[in-house]
Structure 1
Amino acid sequence: MVSNTSAIASFVEAAPPGELSDVVADIKALTSDDPNLLQSLGPAFEKYNEEQFATVKLPGGSQAVVISSHNSLGDGRYYDVESQRSFAFDHTTQRASAVQSHVLESQHSDLIKSLLKSVSTHAKEHYPSSSVGVYPIENDSLIAIVLVANKYSPNNFWNGRWRSLYLLHPSTGALTGSLHVDVHYYEDGNVRLLTTKPVSASVSASPSAQDVVRQVAAVERKYQEDLNRAFASLSEGAFKGLRRQLPVTRQKVEWEKIAGYRLGQDIGGGRAR
């Protein structure tokens, strides 16, 4: 059972954005002879939720808050700087409960609150359905900036997630971290894009929130431009080279219109709708 649990946990940890509940439903169907198996997957759910920056609305609240290792209080509790609340989080059901007041204790509290406001404005301007968190970490020597944006379109057979993590050294202005993009397309096929970009930049020593957000915006804009160029190159070169000249429809693919095709139906000759 240990090996089976480990294998099933890997399915949880690799769940595409917005599809964890589907994965859980499949696990239940495949392991119906062991109804207690899900209880043993708690660590996998916790790892998934923290790494994917899961979001949850607190009871009585309207704003989704972030779940990550950076705002964990231990024992399944997390805190949110903006609402000044802590809460329990069930990693299996992804629900919050037991909300309490929480006061931020940090020598950088003013910068953290200013960053939270500035990064939230940046996220709302550039990302759909975004959530932001800013937290003191490493014994208050660093500030973690977390941004996650989800866009789900299951009716069109695709889901996507953008994640940004920045670690700011307040005294030196050093800014490190990573950007992650995860997109799953599954109409008459199964294609997934997983890409990560490390970040290493700097702002002025003892930076203002505006200084940091300007650098964040520049880093993310460049990454998006790089992704656009990569997609253009893929459709014009590598992707075209992978396909036969005539697909099963017996009609040539118009490669200049590749972005407008529905992957399975129009290129592969899938079933009509």
Structure 2
Amino acid sequence: MPTEDVVRRVYTNLLSQAPPGEFNAVFDDVRNLHEHPALLDEQTETTLTTYNHANFLPVQSPELPRPTVLSVYNVVNQAEQLYLEPNSNLTFNWDPIKRVVTSTHKSTLSFDPELVAWRDAVQKELDLYIDDHFHKNGVGSVFIHEGKLVLVISSHKYMRRNYYAGRWISNWSIPAYKKTTQVTVEGHANVLNHYYEEGNVQMNSSKDFVLNVAYAAEITAAAKEVLKSICEAESAWEANLHEKFTNFSETTFKLLRRALPVTRTKMDWVKAHAYRMTKDINDPKSSQ
């Protein structure tokens, strides 16, 4: 029998790999696999919090003026499930089991005024980018984290009727604004799609980015340049993915087919048909 620690690790690994929007389904399946439901319940909230952070779970609630995400960059108190929504300067409590905002509060957090101004400028440009590229399902938030800005994009789409779920997430570390400065903007993007009608097919692809961006002398122009560079990088990667999957379906899948039968000779269908006709003539009962 495995020890309790081993069972906990197995539960955590299985739950952490749940595709977008399918955590509850995986949880139910795991519960039916083993006879330690109490251990599973112990792991659920901690694992679910980590899962939400890793997937930048979008949060949209009547309690909040605008959508945001759950992440390590805006968590204020993880034990209390308290997060910051910087655009409205609110903190909110999140119930990870019910997936709802339970309360909101005026934020008492304080940040460097220059970083706040820089955050606001980048957020404004990010909103335009989200409207252009993710307008139906996208959420974009900019957080102040460890003296820098962290820009987070999260776009989730669940279509259970069509047995499909997927999401695009990306995050970018943006240095503090200084006039006429060449900076390095680092980013990471991940795409995960899951199709599960009579099967289980997943596509998981990631990309790291390092961009050199020259900050303009004016803060608004600098924010535009940052988002322009991010847009170009993400769009180029998306186009590359599309090209690879087009080639994959046209070449790789065909190579997976057996070129010849096990006899290593092509089937002569004309002879096969003639043989069948001859057999039927000689033995009429065989065609009945």
1:158–1:184: 8 Å Cα contact kept in structure 2? yes
**1:195 corresponding residue in structure 2:** 205
**2:60 corresponding residue in structure 1:** 57
Query: Which residue of 240, 243, 253 corresponds with 1:226?
Result: 240
Q: Deviations over 1:74-96 (max 9, x none)?
A: 23211011121101223333322
In 2, the alpha carbon distance for the partners of 1:239 and 1:216 equals 33
**1:253 corresponding residue in structure 2:** none
**1:96 corresponding residue in structure 2:** 101
**2:188 corresponding residue in structure 1:** 178
Q: Deviations over 1:224-246 (max 9, x none)?
A: 11001101110121122123469
Matched, 1:9 2:9: no
2:97 match: secondary structure = coil
Q: Which moved more, 1:34-43 or 1:174-183?
A: 34-43
**1:249 corresponding residue in structure 2:** none
Change beyond 3 A, Cα 1:105–1:158: same
Change beyond 3 A, Cα 1:104–1:194: farther
Name the TM-score, length of structure 1 as normaliser: 0.82
Deviation at 1:197, TM superposition (A): 0.4
Q: Deviations over 1:104-161 (max 9, x none)?
A: 52331111112112112211211231111111112x2x11000001121111111110
2:73 match: secondary structure = helix
Which letter maps to 1:100? Answer: H
Matched, 1:169 2:175: yes
Query: Which residue of 18, 22, 26 corresponds with 1:19?
Result: 22
Deviation at 1:19, TM superposition (A): 1.0
**1:241 corresponding residue in structure 2:** 255
**Cα RMSD after superposing both structures:** 2.0
In 2, the alpha carbon distance for the partners of 1:126 and 1:136 equals 24
In 2, the alpha carbon distance for the partners of 1:152 and 1:37 equals 25
2:183–2:214: 8 Å Cα contact kept in structure 1? yes
Percent of aligned positions with the same letter in both sequences?
A: 23
1:58–1:97: 8 Å Cα contact kept in structure 2? no
Name the TM-score, length of structure 2 as normaliser: 0.78
Which letter maps to 1:190? Answer: N
Q: Deviations over 1:14-66 (max 9, x none)?
A: 11011112112223344575346323333211111001001223453363320
2:93 match: secondary structure = strand
Runs ≥4 residues deviating over 4 A: none
Which letter maps to 1:17? Answer: P
**1:41 corresponding residue in structure 2:** 44
**2:143 corresponding residue in structure 1:** 135
Which letter maps to 2:253? Answer: F
In 2, the alpha carbon distance for the partners of 1:9 and 1:94 equals 19
1:188 match: secondary structure = coil
Unaligned stretches of 5+ in structure 2?
261-288
Which letter maps to 1:176? Answer: E
2:11–2:40: 8 Å Cα contact kept in structure 1? no
Deviation at 1:13, TM superposition (A): 0.7
**2:269 corresponding residue in structure 1:** none
**1:204 corresponding residue in structure 2:** 214
**1:79 corresponding residue in structure 2:** 84
In 1, the alpha carbon distance for the partners of 2:205 and 2:258 equals 27
2:140–2:153: 8 Å Cα contact kept in structure 1? yes
Unaligned stretches of 5+ in structure 1?
247-273
Q: Greater Rg, structure 1 or structure 2?
A: 2
In 1, the alpha carbon distance for the partners of 2:8 and 2:37 equals 11
Change beyond 3 A, Cα 1:63–1:245: farther
Deviation at 1:99, TM superposition (A): 0.9
